[in-house]
Every structure is written in C-alpha cells, then in structure tokens.
Amino acid sequence: MDEFVEFSGKNVDEAIARACEHFQTDRDQLEIEIITGGSSGIFGLVGVKKARIKAKKRNNLRELELLIKDIIANLIRPMSPNPEILIDLQSEPILVTIKDKENSGLIIGRDGQTIAALQYVANRIIAKKWPGTSRIQLDTGDYRQKQNERLRKTAIYLAQQAKRAGRIMSTQPLSSYHRRLIHLALQNDYEVQTKSKGEGSMKKVLIIPKKRRRNKPFRNNRETHY
C-alpha cells in the first residue's frame, strides 16, 4: 500500500495542487488528510503559517463508487426503495444518476428542492468519509438536462434583453456549476460580457452589454433581475 506524502502551500488548495503534480494525477484520485489549514498571519507578515496536508493515490476507486451508491441509496430509500444508481467517476462533478421512472418526480421535488437537498446532504457525508474527492451531482428523470437547457435559454434571453435595453441584466443567485453554464452559453456572443457578482457560494451572473444605445443612458449601477 502506498504511504502518505506530506505537502505544504500558502493554503490548502495550493498544497493539494502540489500533491497532484507530484503524483501526476487529478485531485479526485488522491486520498487527502488536512493537517493544518494554514494562516495568513497579521497583515500577511507576522505569524504566517503554511497549510499542510498528507496525500496518497487512491488504491481502489471501486470503493468510492460503492460508498457513493450506499450513501445515495440510504438517503432516497423512503422515496425510492429499489433504484438503479449509475455513477460516472470521470465526470466533473461526479455524476450520479438515479434510474427510477415511477419515483423520479418525488426525488426531484417542487422546483428541484428535494434533489438539491439530497445532493447537499450527500456531498457533506462524502466529504467527511472521503476527503478530497470531487463533489457529486444528482440526476434523475433527465432533470439536469432539462435544467441546463432552461438555463441556456435564460442566458440567451437575458443577453437579448441587455442588448435591446442597453442595461445590465442579472440572474438569480446560482451555484458555481450553474453560473458556469451561463458563462458558457454566452461566451461566443461578442456583444455582451458576463461577470459573477456576490459573496459566498451562491452568486448572480451579470450580463453586460458592450455597446451603449445612443437614445438611452447606460448606467453601470442599474441591474434588472430575472
């Protein structure tokens, strides 16, 4: 069995990046233990401490797959007693598909609230049991595909509104994954630019027209929310 190797950096992410470089593999292929998260000290000068981790290559991804299946099966058992659970460990985030036509609507819940809650809880459990692994994304009944298509259409609609009205348009607060979908949907539209705004994990995406209309003043501090 491979032994743990210690790595350090100015923060945990940098230490993990050095571990990935050392083992020549991706983060989700490593078993990681955080020794200390590090400290920036006072004004970045006094008391600075590097983050330290221990890492080694995972010996068996099958163990991770079985762990994820077990966690998901236990979480959804009251709604779906005998689901087929498919896991794609190569995707980013890890895609977990629940095959259950009869109960997919129940798993998704109103406006996707149930599947979002299940995904949150599952990720918290996995992070504790298997530190350093990628986050998972739950799907059932093609919910994610439909959701992604709705976001793509929303992005295009907001871009059209931004160009037509000559002002900034804004999405509702979104996860990093959904913000990325908005950015990608508009990356080839050279008449607008996109920018994330906000604090924490849930941020809005601003769609900003690059050209101002002559008959309407352009105000940077004005946003229209969708």
Q: What is the pLDDT of residues 37-65, one digit of tens each?
A: 876 655 555 556 889 999 988 767 788 89
pLDDT of residue 123: 94
Give the sheet arrangement for strand 30-36, strand by strand. Answer: 5-9, 51-57, 30-36
pLDDT of residue 58: 73
pLDDT of residue 1: 43
Tokens 């599947």 correspond to 115
Rounded CA separation 60/69 (Å): 15
Judged on CB neighbours under 10 Å (0-12, 13-18, 19+), 219 is exposed
Q: Is the pTM of this model over 0.85?
A: no
Residues in the chain: 226
CATH of 61-141, one of 3.30.300.20, 3.30.360.10, 3.90.550.10, 2.60.40.60: 3.30.300.20
Domain 145-225 has CATH 3.90.110.10: no
Question: Higher pLDDT residue, 58 or 150?
Answer: 150
pLDDT of residue 70: 95
The mean-pLDDT minimum among 30-39, 119-128, 134-143, 187-196 falls in: 30-39
pLDDT in tens, 170-213: 998 888 878 888 999 999 999 999 999 888 878 899 999 986 55
Averaged pLDDT score across all residues of the chain: 85
Q: Where are the domains of the chain?
A: 5-57, 61-141, 145-225
